[in-house]
Amino acid sequence: MKKPKLSHYDDSGAVSMVDVSAKPVSSRSAIARAYVAMPPDVIAALPHNKKGDPLEVARIAGISAAKKTADLIPLCHQLPLSHVAVEFRLDAGGIEITATARTVAQTGVEMEAMTAVSIAALTIYDMTKALNKAIEIREIHLLEKTGGKSGTFRRKSMSSAK
Contacts for 10 with CB less than 8 Å, ≥ 6 apart: 16
In angstroms, how far is CA 5 from the centroid of its own chain?
23
| Residue from 41, 53, 91, 126 carrying the catalytic annotation | 126
Which three-class secondary structure state does DSSP give residue 142? strand
- For the purposes of burial, counting CB atoms within 10 Å of the CB of 145, is it exposed (0-12), middle (13-18) or buried (19 or more)? buried
Sheet bearing 94-105, strands edge to edge: 81-91, 94-105, 26-37, 136-146, 153-154
Known catalytic residue at 19: no
Residues marked active site are found at 126
